[in-house]
Structures are given as C-alpha cells and as structure tokens.
Amino acid sequence: MSKSLLEQLPEIVAKGRQEAERILESLESRHRVALQTREWVLPSKDVAERDWIASNERQAHLEGKGDGWKNRLIYGDNLLAMAALLAGDEETLSLRGKIDLIYIDPPFDSKADYRTKVVLPGAELEQKPTVIEQFAYSDTWSDGTASYLAMITPRLILMRELLSDTGSIYVHLDWHVGHYVKIVMDEVFGKQGFRNEVIYCYSGGGVPDREMPRKHDVIFWYSKGKEWKFNTQYRPYSEGTIQRGRTAVKGENATLREEGTPINDWWPDVKKITSPTDPEKLYYDTQKSEELLSRIIRMCSDQGDLVADLCGGSGTTAAVAEKLGRKWVVSDIGKPACMVMRKRLIDQNARPFLYQAIGDYQVEAAKASLGRKFRVGDLSQIVLSLFGALPLPVEENPNRNLGYLPSPAGGGGSKTLVLADSPNKLTGAATLKKAIALRDSLMGGWDRVVVLGWNFEPSIGESLQALNDGRLEVLVIPPDLLDRLKKKGGLEKLRGQVRFSSLQYLTIQPVQRRCGDGEETLDVILDNYVLLSPEAINLDEANRAKLQAVMNAEPLALIEYWAVDPDYDGEVFRSVWQDYRGNTANDGDPLRVVTRATLTLPRKPGPRRVCVRAVDVFGFEAEAVREVAE
C-alpha cells in the first residue's frame, strides 16, 4: 500500500536537506556555481535625453564607483542562483546571512499551464513553455504535490542560509499546497520562527453551484532568529470609528491615532490587479500589486536593506524595493519573466543594475540528469548520437566530441565531420576556426563540418559572416535536451525527436560618427534580424505559420529589446541606451522598437568599439559589433 503524502513528508524533507547540504558543500570546491554577467544596464528610455551618461550618479556606476553594491536580475533556476549567491564572486562577496527580507510567490501546484502570449504586428502567438521554464510557467510535476514539495524544500533551506539573523521570509501560496508547505517551513525555520499567517483577500469572478467561492491566498511569515525587524503598518480608519487603547470602536468624542489603525493578519484592503486598464497591469500571469509588496517590504525591512525575490515573475518586488530605497536581488527561470522585469525597471528609471545568468547552466543540468560524476565527453557522445553522427575512432577523438554522418546506403554523398562543443564554454570564433582546421586536415580531410553548440558568444553571427565559409554549418543544441532526456527515460526513446536548429543573428548598418567640440554623436541603425529556427520554439503548427509570416514580412518586428554600448570592452556589455516594445517615449508604436538610436556622448579621441545587443520576443540574444574610426 502506497504511503500517504503526510507519511512521505519526513522523507521529502530529509532528501531536501541532503540536496541543500550537497550544494553547500560544493561551495568550497572549484566546481561551485558561478554567475555570468551578460549586461550592465544603465536605464535610459528616452533618446531625447542628452545628459544621461554625463550625470554624476550614472557615470560613477559606469566606472564602478560608489558603495560597490550592484542590484541584480538573474536568469536561471533559483536553486543554482542561490548557490552562486552563497558562493560569492569577484563582483560581490557571499550573501550568506546578508539578505534582510525574502518574498517568494512560487507556483501553487495548481496544474495550471501558463503560456506566454506574444503580440506581433498583425499576429498574436501563444507560446508553450520549454521544459526548462516549466518551473515558472507550468505548475505540473510528475508526482503531483510530492514532487512540488521535493522541489521547494531544498530551496527554502538555501533561502534560510541567505537570510540575516534578523531577516524574515514571506511565502505566498493558496489552498493547493499551503498547508503542506507550512509543515515544511516549520521543519526548516522551526515552529518558533512562525510569525503570522496572512490572509490576502480578493473578490470578483463567478459563483460555483456546489461550493463557496475561494477568495483568498495565504502568506506565511517566518523569521530566521529570535529577533526580527518589524515596522508596524497602519490602515486608515473606517468611517465612524474611534480609538480606545488598541481597539477601534464606533462612537463620538474620541481621539484617533493620526497614522490610522495597526493592520492585523487579515488583508482585504490591499489592491489587486484586475482591471485591464490598470496602469500596473503587465499581462503577466500571477502578477501581484505594488501595494502588497510595499506593505511587506516596509514592515520587515529598512532603507538600505537587501530584499530578494527568487521567483521574480513580473518584477514587483524589485520595482517596489527600488522605489523604497532598498537594495535587491531577483531571479527567475523564465526568459519572458526576465524580459518583463528588465523592461519594467528601465521604465521606472531604476538605478543601474546587472543582468546575469547561471554560468554553467548545462553542466549543472547534466549533473542532475547524469549524476555528479558525469564527464563532458559523456554528454558529447549523447549529443552526437541524437544528431545521428557516429563517433570517430578514439585515437583520432581523445575528447570524444567528434563524429561523422554516415553516407546514405549505396555510398556517395559528402563526407561530413561533426563537432559537439562543450556545455561549459561559449561557442565562438575560436571554436569555428578549430572546426575548419579539423575539417581540412583530420583523417585526410572532409567535405564539410557541422558545429553543435549549447551556448554562443553573442557575436557568433558576425563571426560566421566574417569567415564566409559555405562548408561550415553551426547548429543549436536544444537547451532543454537534458530535461527531455530525463523525462523520456533514456537515449533510445528520444532518438529521432530532437531538432538541432540554426542560429539567430543581428546585422546593423555602418555606424555614423560625428565629432564636435567636447561631444560627439553616434547614429546606430538596425539592418536585419534572423530568428533562431521556428522549429526550436515551442509553438503549434498554426502559431508557427503566423510567426513565419511575420519573419518574412518584417523581421525587425521580432525584436523585443535592443541596447547600445558605445565602448564595448569585449567582456561586460554596458547598456547606456535601450529601447523596447511598449516604450512609447521614443515613438507611438507599442508593438515595435525604434530602429535608429542617436547617442550624444562626451568626445573621445581615437576609435570606438560600438556594440549592439538585441533580444527577440522569445528571449534569444544576438549581438553586432562595429569598430568606428574618429
């Protein structure tokens, strides 16, 4: 007889502790998880603003001055993000015991299948989440609630490690799993750490025939230690009440507190985002109001404190923390969520912040799927096999990352070499040149070579154009390959179902530079954008056809966001100008970005290395770089 969920809970918590302990132990090793900085964002949404780069605050941040703290938006699994935050890096010391407040609004195990709607000129697409993004957008786990609890337990343990001794955590749930998660939190934070169960009420919607409408969520508040920060919050008195002691009663001739009545754990008064005309509404499933987060952040943190949200979603926590003078760290595993957050923070003219990603995401995923003792060569063999390539003899292939495509029956056809690149590096110009050299020399030479890559240098499109080699092809290994391999239950079951797609790339027109006395102007104009093969995007046939029509008619309409770094150092992209769909400061079209940027900058002698980075509506990135003479 199978165990009930309640009977499984001790085992689930124990396994969660083991996973968390494994991660904490790995922080001391050279294999610890790292964060890779993709962009240093200096928000500026108006091309008419001329003094943004010269202002003292922005220039200080651009030059790395100030108190050293950088707010951070992180793309990736929050388990890995927390491991990286605990480990620390060259930019920031370990955040163990440094975070003052954590709020998370994790999936509710509601079996909902959140899909991303993409509105393009003349077309509206519905994109299903990839397997990697399902933690954020699809509340479905193979073993139901038991899997949900197994997912959230180690994450809660790592959150406790990040909290300061006087820190608090708020976990926002509903009736689906709230009562089970409460038991887990009692184990992780101790029953003595429980402070309040907040009832977050709302109204609206239909009335069921055979049960009462469900009109509230629950928010569990726990403190890490015996002391915690708490700033009493108040709400206005209702009409006709007086104050006697701490109790509000009706009557006359009484003195009311100026600030109102202290709030209790029943919150029917906090704004909900329901109206489609609400200025806060971002059309993001599960978005919470700024009023809700403002109450929590004010109550359990002070100005200058560090606030975190490891299920970032639409970015309400970061947006409110920014407005209230708190430092912040947010993360999400969904690319759409990260784009919504980035645009939202730019839109409110936030302080400069880092956009980061898990540095070795595929390596960590491989460890989870293939075991901690896996070797990169093992993974390369799997990739080659799924591509249909046979391995080369070991004496010619010591790294086990080379294969060849067998000739069709009867012989003939071209001889094709295949190179599967490592998941813990960016495939770029050096790898392409190596592949060409192997094609021309290895085992007497080959007719063509195919490079299969996991992660790419943003300038990979330009590298391909510069090489101009018709016998070289670069394809993308599906980012969810390891998850699919684990889900399908083995290599043979997945064979024939994996599609390796072509690269996306961006081109720009020659950059015009005009120099004057003390300042200069750069004109940067987008030229073309080629999307990653639609086959790699999780669309049904009807939506794929709509996408193809937009790609053919107006490829630049697929760009969600683009930014310019006028002095790119080849390592950290410093976004000092950006435009994005929905920003009407530069034009009146919410469905398209402007295609021209005019930057007025302080005069700089010598050449400039101008970099343009674009992100499309599906979250894929591309980059173009131009050397511009004085």
Q: What is the DSSP string of 229-280?
A: -----EEPPPTTEEEETTEEEE-SS-PPPTT-EEP-SEESSS-----TT-TT
Does 528 score more than 60 pLDDT? yes
What global pTM score does this model have? 0.82
- How much is the pLDDT for 359? 63
Does 5 score more than 90 pLDDT? no
Please give the average per-residue pLDDT across 476-502, as a whole number.
Answer: 69
Does 126 score more than 90 pLDDT? no
Does 189 score more than 80 pLDDT? yes
Handedness of CA 47, 348, 106, 287 (dihedral sign): negative
Cα 606 from Cα 598, distance rounded (Å): 19
- How much is the pLDDT for 56? 45
- How much is the pLDDT for 158? 96
Instruction: List, by residue range, all CATH 3.40.1350 domains of the chain.
Output: 369-502
Least confident of 47-51, 458-462, 524-528, 618-622: 47-51
Residue 612 near residue 449 (C-beta atoms within 8 A): no
The separation between CA 440 and the C-alpha centre of its own chain, rounded to angstroms, equals 40
pLDDT band at residue 245 under the 50/70/90 scheme: very low
Instruction: List, by residue range, all CATH 2.60.40 domains of the chain.
Output: 508-563+587-628
Task: Return mean pLDDT, the chain.
Answer: 83
Which of 319, 320, 316, 315 is CA-nearest to residue 297?
Answer: 320
CATH code matching the domain that covers 5-30+67-303+313-323+336-345, chosen among 3.30.360.10, 3.40.50.800, 3.20.20.100, 3.40.50.150: 3.40.50.150
Residue 333 near residue 8 (C-beta atoms within 8 A): no
- How much is the pLDDT for 117? 76
Q: What angle do CA 322, 328, 333 make, to 5 degrees?
A: 115
Q: Which of 85-93's residues contact partners 24+ apart within 8 Å by CB, and which partners?
A: 85/35, 85/162, 85/329, 86/23, 86/24, 86/27, 86/158, 86/161, 86/162, 87/27, 87/32, 87/33, 87/34, 89/34, 89/35, 91/37, 91/354
The separation between CA 90 and the C-alpha centre of its own chain, rounded to angstroms, equals 21
Tell me if the domain spanning 508-563+587-628 has CATH number 2.60.40. yes
Instruction: List, by residue range, all CATH 3.40.50.150 domains of the chain.
Output: 5-30+67-303+313-323+336-345
* Fold annotation for 369-502: Trna Endonuclease; Chain: A, domain 1 (3.40.1350)
Helix (H, G, I), strand (E, B) or coil at 48: coil
